[in-house]
Structure 1
Amino acid sequence: MEIIDWVKEHWGIDQEIQEKIFFSLLAIIVLIFMRELLLRIVFWRIKAVKQRYKWKNGVRYIFVFLSLVIISTIWIDEFHSFATFFGLISAGIAVALKDPIVNLAGWLFLMIRRPFEVGDRIQIMDFAGDVIDIRAFQFTLNEIGNWVEADQSTGRIVHIPNGKVFSEAQFNYHQGFSNIWNEICVVVTFESDWQKAKDILNSVMQKHTKNLTKSAQKKLLEASKKFMIFYNTLTPVIYTKVKDHGVALTMRYLCLPKKRRSTEHAIWEEILIEFSKHDDIDFAYPTQRIYYNKTEGKQASKHGK
């Protein structure tokens, strides 16, 4: 009582206000203790990083909500007073905090609709990367691409407001059947045995993608229950096309989004090794002819006609 009287005398704070401040601080301390205790139990029992992250975020949001409810009940005597108070401030908040409210609505959309989750590789606007965090007002990407080729990390993180999910398209590398199509174009000269080259490319491609094709078929079956995804075939294929400087053999195959560069690297190395064993197969590249006398140029022109 002496402390309460001293605070009232020197600070001019009524006893009722002092009690509300005390109980508010007590409630916050108790909730923080309970949250830390619950997180310790979760981290002790769950070792998977992704599951730990989901639990940590879920516990944080629950305790923030409980804190708001408990403190509101302490400071607002009756429930209808709280409803009146909430109605008065909501109009002002809607105008003054338009962007944060949109971002909060975006977070609810991400939690309910789940166009992407933590761990997914996505692209939104000009940014692409792996989702490493989703919070109430923004989500965070570990950036890929940009000045780095083949979808590898740049080392930067990008924070994007949640409200962008309502106005920008999102490209998800993992949703669906969790695989993407990749293509490698190999061009051989017209003088090369392109059919032999095609057989070599096919054997190399089958070697590196056989197991993945089988798993993709199972994933596609599951994905078709949720999305209208249909492919006639998931097996690798090689397309033949004539270009101005040679015969283009394009390998098309499935790969995991985060292993596009590593699979392409392995395939290219084996192609180089195999082609080096055959004298009748040569890589083609764009060339130019320069004539140093007019007669030679005219003769070549006539033959071209």
Structure 2
Amino acid sequence: MNQFNEFITHHIGLNTETFSKVVVSVLIIIFLSALRLLILKLVWRRTEDVKVRYQWKRSLSMTLPFIGLLMIAAVWIKAFEEFGTFLGLFTAGIAIALKDPLTNLAGWLFIIFRKPFGVGDRVQIADNVGDVIDIRLFQFTILEIGNWVEADQSTGRIVHIPNGKVFLEPQANYSAGFEYIWNEIKVNITFESNWEKAKTILEEIINELEEGIPEKAKKEILEASKNYMIYYKHLTPIVYTSVKEFGVRLTIRYLCHPRTRRGSENQIWQRILTAFGTEKDIHFAYPTTRFFTAGE
């Protein structure tokens, strides 16, 4: 053993204590790398879900290096009990200089543990709306929808948002909990039109297209109520009647998935145009100006 120690000291230039710490540090890195590969291999075997695989890979890439850093620090710092004090003084010194990165890091922890949204969810943060495609330490990424494109269709742009925004801006999640949204279509007809017949036609169209959806939504609300105070008395589609300055407005209100809003509107409008086209006593209304001669 003495000869081995002398060999290390003279040929490598390290004393025995330092050399042992290097060996242990290398073993820690090897162990954590092997553990990561083993866990990923098990996950790959048990599921083919791309989202689940991505979440496991991302989580391991974030947590294992942090654990390894703490373990190696415990090896190299003799008085590890004082490491907490050192870490506190160190973080206090850099808190002001690294305020934004630290806020983003805290935002990442909030996203990971509180889960206001996850990869695959459709969200709105301030004016940014899109599908979450990546979550990293300092920012998350969405595939933008809306903006200059109508009806929640993708623009093709990728938007990177700092994680700290979750503390500053409201977050709307279209996907978590209750996976349906209420959509409305406004149909305007003239005062001279048979509005009762028009309303009946609209009710028939929407009830036919929405068949089965209220029951599915009811089951989802029951499941979501375990985590949120969500309650709806009526889930069936309805047509509301109101009067505007240019005619009678019939508003169709119905449930749809966030990603099918434009498709559902397309189907409904096509049927409305076809149905109204055969009715002589129903006419679409739009803002117009009428002139009347005094005495007539």
TM-score by length of 2: 0.88
What is the one-letter code of the residue matched to 1:128? V
After TM superposition, list the pairs within 5 Å mapping 1:274-285 onto structure 2: 274-285=275-286
- Tell whether 2:48 aligns with 1:47: yes
Secondary structure of 1:178's counterpart equals coil
Structure 2 gap ranges (5+)? 1-5
State the SS of the aligned residue for 2:149.
coil
> 1:16 Cα deviation (Å)?
5.2
Task: Say which SS state the counterpart of residue 212 (structure 2) adopts.
Answer: helix
Aligned to 1:138: 139
Give 1:150 shift.
0.5
Residues 119 and 132 in structure 1, CA contact (< 8 A), matched pair in contact too: yes
Q: How does 1:1-305 map to 2 (within 5 A)?
A: 5=10, 8=13, 17=18, 20-21=21-22, 23-288=24-289, 300-302=292-294
CA distance in 1 between counterparts of 2:260 and 2:188 reads 24
Displacement of 1:33 in angstroms is 3.6
Per-residue CA shift, 1:174-227, capped at 9, x if unaligned?
Answer: 234221110001112223222111111111101111211111112222333433
- Contact 1:242/1:248, CA 8 A, preserved across alignment: yes
Whole-angstrom CA distance in 1 between matches of 2:64 and 2:226: 36
CA RMSD of aligned residues (A): 2.4
Q: Is the 8 A contact 2:8 2:16 kept in 1?
A: no
**CA–CA separation in structure 2 for the residues paired with 1:66 and 1:176:** 33
Q: Alpha-carbon deviation of 1:17?
A: 4.9
**Structure 1 residues 108-148: Cα deviation after superposition (integer angstroms, max 9, x where no partner):** 22223222222221111110111222222222211111111
Identity %: 53
Q: Report the secondary structure of 1:238's partner residue.
A: strand
Runs of at least 5 residues in structure 1 that lack an aligned partner in the other structure: 290-296
| Kept in 1: contact 2:182–2:254 (CA 8 A) | yes
The alignment partner of 2:105 has SS state of: helix
Describe the shift of the 1:17–1:223 C-alpha distance in structure 2 as closer, same or farther (beyond 3 A).
Answer: same
Check conservation: 1:181, 1:254, Cα contact below 8 A: yes
Paired AA for residue 302 in structure 1: A
Distance 1:161 1:104 in 2: 9
For 1:147 and 1:303, the matched residues in 2 are separated by 50
Give the Cα separation in 2 of the matches to 1:72 and 1:83: 11
Partners of 1:64 and 1:75 in 2: how far apart? 16
Contact 1:184–1:252 (CA under 8 A) maintained in structure 2: yes
Point out the more displaced range, 112-121 or 23-32.
Answer: 23-32
- Residue 3 of structure 2 is matched in structure 1 by none
* Amino acid in the other structure paired with 2:294: K
Report the Cα distance in structure 1 between the residues aligned to 2:133 and 2:109, rounded to whole angstroms. Answer: 17
Which has the larger displacement, 222-231 or 207-216?
222-231
Is the 1:176–1:229 contact (alpha carbons within 8 Å) kept by the matching residues of 2? no
Shift of 1:30: 4.0
2-structure distance, mates of 1:87, 1:185: 59
Please tell me the residue identity of whatever aligns with 2:40.
Answer: L
Q: Which runs of 4+ in 1 moved over 3 A?
A: 1-8, 13-27
Query: 2 CA distance for matches of 1:210 and 1:186?
Result: 21
TM-score by length of 1: 0.85
